Chains A and B, each alone.
Chain A
Amino acid sequence: MAKTMEPKSKTSERMAELTEKVQGSQAWNSIFRPGSIFRKGYSDSPRNRSYVIMNSVLYHLHPVKVKRHAVKVSYTLCLGGLSFFLFILLTITGIFLMFYYRPTAAQAWNDIYTLQTSITFGLLIRNMHRWGAHLMVLSVFLHMARVFYHGAYKPPREFNWVVGVILLTLTLLLSFTGYLLPWDQLALWAVTVGTNMMGYTPVFGDQVRFVLLSGKEIGTDTLLRWYVLHVLFVPFVTVIFLAIHFWRVRKDGGISGPL
């Protein structure tokens, strides 16, 4: 208690000493690369601005500098970035939901109901997961439209557009597989309508339907199948395509030029 009575300069001195000690420690220096702003402090200078990106994991996503028009919100409307952000948000809220959910016909609906009524923030997180999912479908759609209207799919970006269309399909699949999981009347019959449509695939329609439903009829096996697709398989594939998508954005020379 006596320490608090001491003059202020003493405290700040101690703080400075402590900071120096921590920043000089091997543990700290093993975490942050040489040149990291967490190692040498940050004061605003062109060099430090470069170091922020260059010596952090962000360097995997962003270059040190981008074309000036690329940071204009009116050009991209942030739609691609927001789609990715929503994907992360959905992953986080989805992991939370997984703690309380069992994908069987006997338990699924009750689990969701219990989650909403007796688990702290359960309802809020479920709402965020659902609205976030709809929002992501919307933002991916709008992102595609934005890219088209800017002619941003033209050489050298043709292949990235193809990856983008695949990502759009994967987004729809993610949303659609998640639709069944609450196991309420809405889920069951929406998926019945959807899978019936796919059952009309020429030649092997019945087989497609059988694989999708994990049987002849929609039931508890379908639920397990769609659960694994929703939480593991489709996100896994999506992450791979996202990585390719982001990598190609940079390799193709950043985002497309102004009109």
Chain B
Amino acid sequence: MTELPEHLRKRAEAARQKAAEQAPEGDAAPAAEAAPAADAAAPAAASDSKIPAHLLERSKAAKSKKAGGEAEASAGGGGTAVATAAATAVATAAPPPAATGPAGHTQRLLTVVRAGSIQDVKAAPQDKVHVWPHLLAVEFVAALLCLGFTTIFSIFYDAPLLELANVNQTPNPSKAPWYFLGLQELLTMFHPMVAGVTIPGMGIFLLILAPYIDRNPSNKPEDRKFAISVFTVQLMYWAVLVVIGSFFRGPGFNFVAPWDKGLFFEL
């Protein structure tokens, strides 16, 4: 049972008393019952009601017919008329049992519940859209474009298939797949253990640790100048190495200019 604020309870009590004085014939009691009953018991007092006159007549007649039979029953229900009756009285200042308020409104306040006692409002509502059609349509178009691009590209450009593998004939230059060409480029500068294991291993390790190293909670670019600079420098560093390894390395993995000696690169 929810508790009623003190001032509302007092007001309700006062209203109930007043009602008991005004309607000694037991008109207040039906309010304790279900709302439909109260609706049916149209207000006799409200002359400015929005309910058509002939309906009022009819309901009045019905009520007077009913009143005789149900008088005792409703009188006994007085004890159960707790919050609803009280709240009704609060809402419709006077006369309480009447279904219409001062301005002829037909709704009633049934109860007053403090915020947070039933519903727990956690966060402000977010601006959301339905996944169908908004997201799925975008995804579908993106997938279709990707499929289209791959298909058309595959029609015009064939995947390389060189001659059969021959362990005794080393091509010059022999290159790793393009994404490892940065590492192969490092091989020209460092000992193979450093270039092939230590540097890429450290790279992956640092990448995994990135969210634990970067403790800055902001995701705004202006607050993350250092992180963004470091990452961009790394990206550029790898991109440049891959480009050099791919396009600027010829026979013997020596430096060549692609516009001079042509490309030594297969995807």
- A interface residues with partner B (beta carbon < 8 Å): 46, 49-50, 52-53, 58, 62-68, 70-71, 73, 78, 81-82, 85-86, 89, 105, 109, 112-113, 116, 123-124, 126-132, 134-135, 137, 141, 145, 148-155, 157-158, 161-162, 165-166, 168-169, 172, 175-176, 179, 182-190, 192-194, 196-198, 200-202, 205, 217-219, 256-257, 259
Contact = CB atoms under 8 A, between A and B. Distances in A.
B142 A78 contact: yes
A185 B163 contact: yes
B251 interface: no
Interface in B154-175: 154-155, 157-167, 169-171, 174-175
Contact of A184 (B143, B150, B164, B192): B164
Interface of B: 126-136, 138-139, 142-143, 146-147, 150-151, 153-155, 157-167, 169-171, 174-180, 183-184, 187, 191-193, 195-197, 204, 207-208, 210-212, 214, 216-221, 224, 227-228, 231, 235, 266-267
A67 B125 CA distance: 11
Contact of A71 (B135, B159, B177, B231): B135
Contacts of A202: 193, 197
Interface class of chain A by DSSP = helix
Contacts of A257: 219
Given A65-B130, A124-B154, A188-B165, A197 B211 contact: no
B194 to A, nearest CB: 9
Contact of B163 (A165, A184, A217): A184
Nearest to A157: B211
A81 B139 contact: yes
B159 A151 contact: no
Contact of A154 (B128, B164, B204, B217): B217
A3 to B, nearest CB: 37
Contacts of B170: 189
B135 A197 contact: no
Nearest to A72: B138
Nearest to A113: B161
Given A123-B158, A198-B197, A154 B219 contact: yes
A131 B167 contact: no
B208 A134 contact: no
Given A64-B131, A135-B150, A218-B167, A154 B193 contact: no
Contacts of B157: 127, 131
A68 to B, nearest CB: 5
A239 to B, nearest CB: 18
B159 A126 contact: yes
B219 A165 contact: no
Given A89-B150, A149-B228, A184-B161, A158 B176 contact: no
A60 to B, nearest CB: 12
Given A67-B128, A154-B214, A197 B164 contact: no
Nearest to B153: A131
A158 B211 contact: yes
A79 to B, nearest CB: 9
